[in-house]
Amino acid sequence: MTTRIIATTPDCEIESSRIFNFNRELIFRAWSVPDHLQNWWGPNGFTNTFNEFDFRVGGQWSFVMHGPDKGNYLNGCEFIKIEEPSLIAWKRHSKPLFQVLATFEEISENQTKLVFKMLFENENECRKVKAFAVDKNEENFDRLEKELAKMSS
């Protein structure tokens, strides 16, 4: 069974984007290799324990995000579309339910635009998450930037 990327309206999406001064292949690797991904995934102060990371369409990604103050947040996801090095999409099986669509657009040899979209089935669920996700996505991008700098040195 194939899961499709859901069609949404702007009211059901949270979109964050940034231009990184790194090549697309490196950024894709930071997203697709668990040894890199677990170093930067999540907002400031969070760490991760990856239980499973099967990077293929239909593969599962199971992990626990450990909050800086308290709390462990179990996440279960399934990869639904992968087009190396331009796209990764997954569906969350843990709440809140949504899909993620990450696209990597080559601007120049060492510049890539990353667009990170969170796609929701309804406006109400999107609104609840949007209240905190926009700032947290920026923190995530900051952490990605640091990981990319380490990877390229």
How do residues 86-125 score in pLDDT, each as one tens digit? 999 999 999 999 999 999 999 999 999 999 999 999 999 9
Position 27 scores a pLDDT of 98
Structure confidence by residue, pLDDT tens digits, 59-91: 999 999 999 988 999 999 999 999 999 999 999
pLDDT of residue 41: 97
Residue 16: name the closest of 110, 149, 132 by CA.
Answer: 132
Which pLDDT score, from 0 to 100, does residue 2 have? Answer: 56
Quick one: how far is CA 56 from the chain centroid?
Answer: 15
Query: Which domains are seen in the chain, by residue range?
Result: 11-152 (3.30.530.20)
d(C-alpha 36, C-alpha 135), whole Å: 22
How far from the centroid of its chain's Cα atoms is residue 137's Cα? Answer: 9
Question: What amino acid is encoded at 62 in this protein?
Answer: S
Given a cut of 90, whether residue 9 has pLDDT beyond it is no
pLDDT at residue 137 greater than cutoff 60: yes
